[in-house]
Amino acid sequence: MEELNALFGGFAVALSAYHILLMVIGITLGVIIGVLPGLGGANGVAILLPLTFTMPPTSAIILLTSIYWGALFGGAITSILFNIPGEPWSVATTFDGHPMAQNGKADEALVGAFTSSFIGAIFAVALITFLAPVVAKFALKFGPAEFFAVQFLTFASFIGMGRGSAMKTVASMCLGFALASVGLDNVTGTLRMTFGQDELLNGFKFLVAVIGLFGIGEILSSMEDGLKFNGATAKLRMDAVIRTWKQLPRMWMTFIRSCIVGCWMGITPGGATPASFMGYGIAKRLSKRGDNFGKGELEGVVAPETAAHAAGTAALLPMLTLGIPGSPTAAVLLGGLLIWGLQPGPLLFVEQKDFVWGLIASMYLGNVVGLIMVLTCVPLFAAILRVPFSIIAPAIVFVCAIGAYTVNNAMFDVWMMLVFGIMGYLFNKLRYPLPPLVLALVLGDQAESSFRQAMLVSQGNVGIFWSNWLCGGIMTLGVVMAFWPALQALRNKFAGNGAVARAA
Amino acid sequence: MSSNEEAEGRPLVSYRTLDIAVTFFFLIVCAIVTVDSVRLGIAWKPNEGPMPGLFPFYMVLAMGIASLFNLWRALPQSEEGSETAVTSVGLGRMAAIFVPAVIFVLATNYIGIYVSATIYIGAFMIFFGKFPIWKAAAVSLGIAIVNFMMFEVWFLVPLPKGPLEAALGY
Amino acid sequence: MIRRGTFKATGIAGVLAASAGLASPALAQGWEPVKPVTLVIPAGTGGGADQMARFVQGVVQKHNLMKQPLIVINKGGGAGAEGFLEMKASANDPHKIAITLSNLFTTPLGTGSPFNWKDMKPVSMLALDQFVLWVNVEKPYKTAKEYVDAVKAGEDRQFKMGGTGSKQEDQIVTAAIEQQTGGKKFTYVPYAGGGQVAVQLVGNHVDSTVNNPIEAVGQWRAAQLRPLCIFDAQRSTYTQKVTDKEAWSDIPTCKESGLPVEYQMLRGIFTTKNATPAQVNYYVELFKKVMATPDWKEFMEKGAFNQTSMSGADFDKWLVSAEALHADLMKKAGFLATQ
């Protein structure tokens, strides 16, 4: 119960009018940052960092983490409304979120996304509150082989999800891997597939590809069908929150599964992006309504959002206790901690009790304040869809161009965005699934690096992946997941053929 | 790519043609990556594991095989394959947003992203949204100025700028 | 503004100014930025260079040292080649400066990127970042000598060295150590960032690292990692206790523990090639002001930096010899680009 006392002490620190005001400011900024693909959490935090030099560290971190929460909430908005994921972990949200918007249920999708983000985050904060020391030790067990096992599991849980041609899925995923390999090879320091072109040094960044494939591709498709966005005619009703919340309790299993997946991936540190994909994949496979996923199912929004935010929140734990940033935003936050004279690392929880518990309390409060703020704004967000298409379409191209440019500050990426746009349109038309491509692009080089690091460690012995229980267990689970569709087909066959076989 | 607005939905491209074209795109990517992978080495070094080219090589190998399969599936004339994928009207509409987008990106190099975007959004509103000029000018200027404040002034994210911004001291 | 700054700088960093062979004060008044200055970081977010650059940005804003804003951007593609090529391409824009790390030398040599530090104009050296040999505290090695002996006695490639990136500073230091281990090599495992390397060592996934002090100080204080030696000619000058018993100055140099290897990493500022002496001088003065702030002193101490700083001809000379040193080390280690 020591933790509870400490936590109440933390609430006493965090719960002041000044701090609540800081939260409101931070979350507003965060939502703006999350909505615009050209601004990342790192921008917001970096800009505000100098302002915080004069504040006490606890106030400063409350302001800065509020931006983080705001950005997490905000990422879902453009995914649902325009099929443009502003952040990597919002990609899986588009799969059902955007179809929902096209069916005129944008408000329900938004409420569902915000609520499940909140639940995921709160679950993870509770975990941090009570299990931080235990969990931090667990993260230390992860070496290259374990990282690869986690990444393998992510791919495995996603295989066989797409509808349509299996060969098109393979082609699409492998294209993602090929694109991910462009640029500097982390393991040997050699340049790959750059052919002497300076523009290719950076490789194909996820955000450029996603803005093009999803955002520009969607605009092209909408234009082809006529000058409108589907769902623009949706009636705005003010009871969206109640209407959506009524549907949520029956998805309790999805919530629990996604929370666990998210916390696991956040701590291990797999990250929020694989967590969202895995959450979606598992829900699709195990949910009763799994067959409807991809057509605009609320559960398909809930699953990835819960997992992503549980992971995003849980990822702050390794940052605080081990000093490893889980994301660029966390990296800038880490820099902030150093400037305020706080050294992240194992001793932070011991030496800076007030700061740490103030921060944890602010995680609870920040998420509550954030949820209230974004829920009240749902009608406003949904109303964006009513802006005439001839304004919104070029404006989206403009904002996408800014987003692509800011990734590397290069015009080349803006051109690539247009090329990816045509690709996205064609792939949609010909039923090449995009999610495997995106997943491979995000995780491809990480998975390859982990695999090769593991090979260096084991001197080229593949047996390392089954050298201990943790790693072997995850790998075996991955293999089972990968062959799950085949196993299920086999079982069905046996069940169906059983009688015949016996008769014969 | 001319925007032929008047045509009455003349079929332009069938699914079959499009499918074949895309598999060729995959095969070209496959060839390019294979060349560089082989240069980097696709062997499994003792003590070290895969060389830099091994992963990309086997990935595009799988992609190539899958694409050949897709090509084989797409080649025969079929009812589904000969359905129209793109009509002239559809292509015209897409060109209406895409061609100006290309010009917009091109112009960004010379006059900066803000001026370029103002013209792009304004022109699109006038020609395709049939907005009166004053409305189009107000909205497009507004969007550009809001973005300018947001990126250049507030968040200090430098975007491509042209002579106008330079004259204003940015 | 400038005159006051010059005065302050001569007061505090007078020795440096004298040694740097400054241009005349008349030149210093000649130029000031007329638009925002971009600070290019040839590395990703979160690393040592990034931390330092963002810290500089913070100090400049906090003490109001510039009239125009200072904008920080990361261009870390191709081991920093992207950032350097950007500097090379904008040779005529004096509103760009870059902060460098060792990839200033290692990237052109290791990847064959068409770039050399002479494509930029050196402004000043801010500090030198140290390297320390770390092992897990659970391991029996108490000194660098014991550890090197264990490597010598073990099998080839048995000991694993974790580090940041490939063919960069960490691997160069590793290669330099390998020259002292009787032909026994390490298995060098490259990771994405310094923080991750330290954690991998705590988790016993590698046997040793050459982390910068700031990357591993948290784990040292928590008694998870043990510093064996520092790769500098002299011991660190920071005598304040970092852990219960030890200060940075208590770490012996590698040389005195029988491992004659020295290596430090440049944290320097460059501007574009065609900058005039007046423009270069503006930046020299600016960074003198930055280095004179108490915030900077504190930052230096926290990261146990070697506070050597220089500019002008001295810095040029230092760069020439450092480049030769890197070329030599990388050639011996076989890291030069082959294409």
Q: How are beta strands C187-191 and C160-164 bridged, if at all?
A: parallel
Residue B163: pLDDT over 80: yes
Cβ–Cβ < 8 Å for A424, A140: no
Write down the pLDDT at residue C289: 93
Cβ–Cβ of B48/A455 closer than 8 Å? yes
The count of structural domains within chain A is 1
CA dihedral B77, B82, B86, B87 (to 10 degrees): 130
Write down the pLDDT at residue A497: 55
Cβ–Cβ < 8 Å for A252, A301: no
In a domain, C302, yes or no: yes
Task: Chain B: give the shortest CA distance to residue C38, in Å.
Answer: 9
Closest CA to A86 of A72, A96, A98, A100: A72
String of b and e for C284-302 (b: at least 16 CB within 10 Å)? bbbbbbbbbbebbeebbbb
Chain A residues touching residue C212 (CB < 8 angstroms):
none
Tens digit of pLDDT for each residue in B76-95? 888 777 888 888 888 888 88
Tens digit of pLDDT for each residue in B7-25? 447 888 888 889 999 999 9
Give the dihedral sign, CA A134/A136/A142/A143.
Answer: negative
Chain A residues touching residue C46 (CB < 8 angstroms):
325, 328, 330-332, 334-335
Same-domain status, C244 and C272: no
Tens digit of pLDDT for each residue in C216-274? 888 898 888 999 999 999 999 899 888 888 999 999 999 999 899 999 999 999 999 99
Q: What is the largest CA-CA distance in chain B?
A: 71
Write down the pLDDT at residue C298: 85
> In C32-154, at which residue ranges do the beta strands (DSSP E only) sit?
37-41, 70-74, 96-100, 120-129, 132-136
In a domain, A281, yes or no: yes
Give the DSSP H or E segment for B12.
strand B11-14
| Percent of chain B at pLDDT exceeding 70 | 94
Closest CA to A124 of A335, A473, A367, A471: A367
Write down the pLDDT at residue C45: 67
Write down the pLDDT at residue C333: 85
Cβ–Cβ of B156/C69 closer than 8 Å? yes
- d(CA A171, CA A434) in angstroms, rounded, equals 10
Cβ–Cβ of A331/C46 closer than 8 Å? yes
- d(CA C129, CA C267) in angstroms, rounded, equals 7
Chain C residues touching residue B169 (CB < 8 angstroms):
34-35
Same-domain status, C118 and C147: no
Write down the pLDDT at residue B1: 39
Chain C residues touching residue B157 (CB < 8 angstroms):
71
Residue of A nearest to C45 (CA): A328
In a domain, C257, yes or no: no
Residue C13: pLDDT over 60: no
Q: Is B156 on the interface with C (CB under 8 A)?
A: yes
Q: Is B170 on the interface with C (CB under 8 A)?
A: yes
- The residue from C226, C250, C274 where one domain ends is C250
Q: What are the structure tokens assigned to C74, written together?
A: 């990361």
Residue in A31, A174, A420 to test binding to B, most B beta-carbons within 10 Å: A174
Same-domain status, C26 and C172: no
Same-domain status, C275 and C210: no
Task: Chain A: give the shortest CA distance to residue C171, in Å.
Answer: 11
Cβ–Cβ < 8 Å for C203, A141: yes
Lowest mean pLDDT among A69-78, A279-288, B41-50, C178-187: B41-50
- d(CA C33, CA C75) in angstroms, rounded, equals 22
Same-domain status, C119 and C138: no
DSSP character string of A158-217: HTT-S-S-HHHHHHHHHHHHHHHTSEE-TTT--EES-TT-GGGGG---HHHHHIIIIIIH
The count of structural domains within chain C is 2
Q: Which phi and psi (to 5°) does residue C338 adopt? A: -100, -15
Nearest by CB: A402 against B36, B69, B159: B159
Same-domain status, C79 and C123: yes
Residue B144: pLDDT over 60: yes
Give the dihedral sign, CA A263/A268/A272/A276.
Answer: negative
In a domain, A128, yes or no: yes
In a domain, A55, yes or no: yes
Q: Taking a contact as any Cβ pair under 8 Å apart, which residues of chain B between 44 and 73 contact chain A?
A: 44-53, 55-56, 59-60, 62-63, 66-67, 69-70, 73
Residue of B nearest to C185 (CA): B47
In a domain, C259, yes or no: no
- Kindly report the average pLDDT of chain C as a whole number: 84
pLDDT means per 10 residues, chain A with 504 residues, are 77 83 90 79 70 78 85 86 82 90 87 93 88 76 88 79 74 91 82 81 83 89 72 60 84 90 80 85 83 86 92 81 69 70 75 82 89 87 82 89 85 93 92 87 85 87 87 88 76 62 41
Domain that holds residue C215: 132-250
Chain A residues touching residue B56 (CB < 8 angstroms):
177-178, 181, 192-193
Nearest by CB: B47 against C34, C73, C157: C157
In a domain, A499, yes or no: no
ipTM of the complex: 0.90
Residue of B nearest to C71 (CA): B156
Cβ–Cβ < 8 Å for C5, C71: no
Cα end-to-end distance, chain A, whole Å:
66
Task: Chain A: give the shortest CA distance to residue B168, in Å.
Answer: 21
Chain C residues touching residue A49 (CB < 8 angstroms):
54, 58
Write down the pLDDT at residue B81: 78
Tens digit of pLDDT for each residue in C270-297? 999 999 999 999 999 999 999 999 889 8
Cβ–Cβ of C77/A203 closer than 8 Å? yes
Q: Which residue has the higher pLDDT, C337 or C172?
A: C172
Residue A504's CB is within 10 A of a number of other CB atoms, namely: 6
Tens digit of pLDDT for each residue in C123-136? 999 999 999 999 99
Closest CA to A23 of A50, A77, A60: A60
Same-domain status, C124 and C15: yes
Same-domain status, C33 and C99: yes
Write down the pLDDT at residue B93: 85
> In chain C, at which residue ranges do the beta strands (DSSP E only) sit?
37-41, 70-74, 96-100, 120-129, 132-136, 160-164, 187-191, 208-209, 225-230, 265-272, 310-311
Cβ–Cβ of C218/A346 closer than 8 Å? yes
Chain C residues touching residue A459 (CB < 8 angstroms):
157, 187
Q: How many CB pairs under 8 A join A and B?
A: 186
Closest CA to C125 of C337, C322, C333: C322
Domain that holds residue A6: 2-492
Q: How confident is the model at residue C20 (pLDDT cuts 50, 70, 90)?
A: very low
